[in-house]
Structure 1
Amino acid sequence: MSDVPSDVPNEEPVELPASLKFLKLLVTVLTGVMILGVVVIIYLLVTQLTRMPDPLVLPEVISLPEGHSTTAFTRGTDWFAVVTESEAGEAILIYDLGSGALRQEITVE
């Protein structure tokens, strides 16, 4: 026996209207772009998260002025700065990265 009722005539496939063909093409292209985007994001995450950072290069000893204690530290390309606290107040000491010599002292008021 056939699953198709005998009173239903054999219909020929109906061609989709042009607007639906265009919509189908857009959905297909969007799917491809989304898949490609997810692959690129995963690639970038894997390559960037597994990269080792550059080692932090500092002098062996940093000599602070008498009575100053360190509260913060930051580093630039050829310098590093130490924020210090003392009885006189806070100061920012900027040192040369290569030699460790004091370049500048800025008093914070």
Structure 2
Amino acid sequence: MADRLSSAAKAKQELLERARAKSPSNDPEFLARKAARDEADRARDARQAEKRAAKEAEAARLAEEKAREEAARIEAEKADAEAQRLAKIAAAEHAAQLEIDQKAKRDAKYAARKARQR
């Protein structure tokens, strides 16, 4: 039985040695391909970082533009509200002046009538 165990262990050891001998890490071409893959990975990561930075810059630019547009819209609304307020004041002043003019005409008419009656 010990003989079978030792021969099995020996067979496993031989398989392991053959596998190590055939290992691609010992092959110079494998190392060159691995280096090329690593370089391609670094280049891809750099391109992705550039794209991500460009997207972030574009998003920041759009957000800034949107904020400017919103500020301009708010400013326009304020100006419009002020113009409406001034128009209401002008309309009220005009109505008051019209009422004063009408009262003055009416008073003049009554005074003229009283003067004719005397």
Q: TM-score, normalised by structure 1?
A: 0.38
Greater relative contact order structure (CA < 8 Å, 6+ sep): 1
Asked which structure has the greater CA Rg, the reply is 2
Bigger share in helix: 2
